[in-house]
Amino acid sequence: MSLQLTGIHHLTAITANAPGNLHFYTKVLGLRLVKKTVNQDDTSAYHLFYADGEATPGTDLTFFDWPVGRERRGTHSIVRTSLRVGSQESLAWWKQHLTDEGLATGEIADIGGYASLDFEDPEGQRLRLVSDGGKGGSHPWAQSPVPAEHQIRGLGPIVISVPD
């Protein structure tokens, strides 16, 4: 029997500001807060789960709430987390939306053969929106402030920095 990997199930990061994180990922990015629990290994910390409208595997971003400083950049770390959107038009919508929210973005550019838009969350986590051309399923969240056609469809490529 061979193991068939079809993608990334979820990505976990750290936030030092759970209320700000909740606001950004639900009100700005329009993701659904699927679950709020405590960290099983450190019950003093929250564990926040965000995903699409059906909490589909491959759409989950989770955060542990720990009092840490701004992201430290270097090797042995995630360099950029990509989130998929459905079209080049969605990238243009996101560029305007993020700018309206006071966030700096890069320009829409071709990265690895995909139209992409780089930006950072308020704590400095580097994110990238990538157009997947509408491939695959989509499960919009009805209560999202983001129009269904522009909602985040799931995780995209995750860039990791290694020394070799």
What are 3-44's pLDDT values in tens digits? Answer: 676 777 778 888 999 999 999 999 999 999 999 887 777 777
pLDDT at 137 over 90: no
Structural domains of the chain sorted by starting position, each given as residue range(s) with its CATH number in brackets: 10-161 (3.10.180.10)
| Number of C-beta neighbours around residue 108 at 10 A | 17
Question: What pLDDT sits at residue 44?
Answer: 79
pLDDT at 125 over 70: yes
Q: How many Å apart are CA 125 and CA 120, to the nearest integer?
A: 5
What are 53-107's pLDDT values in tens digits? Answer: 999 988 999 999 988 877 777 788 888 999 999 999 999 999 999 999 999 999 9
Q: Is the dihedral of CA 122, 127, 131, 132 positive or negative?
A: negative
- Whole-Å CA distances, 79 to 29, 40, 49, 116, 154: 19, 26, 21, 15, 18
- Burial class, 60, CB count within 10 angstroms (exposed 0-12 / middle 13-18 / buried 19+): buried
Q: How many Å apart are CA 109 and CA 124, to the nearest integer?
A: 20
Question: What pLDDT sits at residue 79?
Answer: 86
Question: What pLDDT sits at residue 5?
Answer: 66
Q: What is the mean pLDDT of the chain?
A: 91
Nearby residues of 46 by Cβ (< 8 Å), 6 or more positions away: 18, 36, 37, 38, 39, 63, 64, 65
Question: What pLDDT sits at residue 82?
Answer: 95
Question: What pLDDT sits at residue 102?
Answer: 96
